[in-house]
């Protein structure tokens, strides 16, 4: 569960990035956040991942009250939330397998567990047989699916996908979206930001529109409504 109660983020005196945002996302929901550039989408996601702190308001994610968390508790947040970005952020000198395995190595998983877990998650994202490829040998869509595999390998409760299809052509973009839907069907909450109207219209999910740091509409089974954004 994600709960935001009147969350405000002011970076500097002249700029209120988020203005008393209140939101409630249930476990296993698939939520799309839309908004023009500068609307506050990235700020919202950064508050969820604890990269940024709110100026005021309350944030509770998966039972963790962010006001009460110490810096040493940040690994708890990382454990609950997987993140993928528009630019993939893969390690260029590691294979597909190694990229995903690395996410487990750094938190102390043993070799046996890694050999057991990584092939399963690569299968989940449709990359079976590509374990030994290097990132530069993959299409953009495949690279993004490696990034998704890495984000979900520890089975987070929530997956945040920040413009994951921004660098992809429509065919590869849709493959990535289908993987997000599959992960959602298996029980993970998905929070997706996108500018892609076609994807929003095909998905027909809950759509939250943000404009000038405020929620201007929040609809179930919704289509992309450009009127929300002005």
Half-sphere exposure of 195 (CA within 13 A, CB side): 10
Residue closer to ligand ADP by CB (options 13, 227) is 13
37 binds ligand ADP (CB under 6 A): yes
Residue closer to ligand ADP by CB (options 142, 162) is 162
CB 17 within 8 A of CB 40: yes
Choosing from 2, 21, 23, 35, the residue that interacts with ligand ADP (CB under 6 A) is 35
Q: Find all residues with CB under 8 Å of 213, minimum gap 6, and list them.
A: 9, 16, 17, 18, 19, 21, 39, 40, 43
End-to-end CA distance of the chain: 29
Q: Nearest approach, Cβ of 41 to ligand ADP (angstroms)?
A: 3
Sheet-wide strand order for 56-61: 15-25, 2-12, 56-61, 64-65
**25 forms bridges with which residues in the sheet?**
2
Q: Nearest approach, Cβ of 210 to ligand ADP (angstroms)?
A: 7
Choosing from 2, 7, 17, 32, the residue that interacts with ligand ADP (CB under 6 A) is 17
Choosing from 2, 4, 39, 146, the residue that interacts with ligand ADP (CB under 6 A) is 39
Q: Which residues of the chain form beta strands (DSSP E)? A: 2-12, 15-25, 30-34, 56-61, 64-65, 81-85, 158-162, 189-193, 206-211, 214-219
Kind of pairing, strands 15-25 and 2-12?
Answer: antiparallel
H or E element, residue 179 = helix 170-185
Which region among 41-49, 87-95, 140-148, 152-160 touches ligand ADP (by CB under 6 A)?
41-49
Choosing from 43, 49, 188, 194, the residue that interacts with ligand ADP (CB under 6 A) is 43
38 binds ligand ADP (CB under 6 A): yes
Residue closer to ligand ADP by CB (options 4, 101) is 4
55 binds ligand ADP (CB under 6 A): no
Residue closer to ligand ADP by CB (options 11, 186) is 11
Q: Give the interface with ligand ADP as residue ranges (CB under 6 A).
A: 11-12, 15, 17, 35, 37-43
């Amino acid at each position: 569960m994600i709960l935001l109660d009147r969350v405000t983020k002011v970076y500097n005196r002249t700029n209120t990035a988020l203005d008393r945002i209140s939101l409630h996302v249930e476990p296993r929901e698939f939520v799309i956040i839309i908004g023009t550039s500068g609307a506050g989408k990235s700020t919202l996601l950064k508050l969820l991942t604890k990269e940024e702190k709110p100026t005021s308001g309350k944030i509770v994610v998966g039972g963790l009250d962010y006001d009460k968390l110490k810096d040493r508790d940040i690994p708890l947040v990382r454990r609950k939330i997987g993140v993928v970005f528009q630019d993939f952020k893969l390690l260029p000198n590691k294979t597909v397998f190694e990229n995903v395995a690395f996410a487990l190595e750094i938190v102390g998983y043993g070799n046996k567990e890694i050999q057991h877990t990584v092939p399963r998650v690569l299968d989940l994202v449709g990359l079976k047989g590509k374990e030994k490829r290097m990132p530069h040998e993959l299409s953009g869509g495949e690279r993004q699916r490696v990034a998704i595999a890495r984000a979900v390998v520890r089975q987070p409760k929530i997956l945040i996908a920040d413009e994951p299809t921004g660098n992809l052509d429509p065919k590869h973009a849709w493959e990535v979206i289908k993987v997000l839907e599959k992960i959602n069907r298996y029980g993970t909450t998905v929070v997706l930001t996108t500018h892609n109207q076609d994807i929003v219209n095909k998905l027909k999910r809950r759509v939250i529109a943000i404009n000038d740091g405020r929620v201007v509409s929040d609809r179930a089974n919704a289509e992309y409504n450009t009127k929300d954004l002005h």
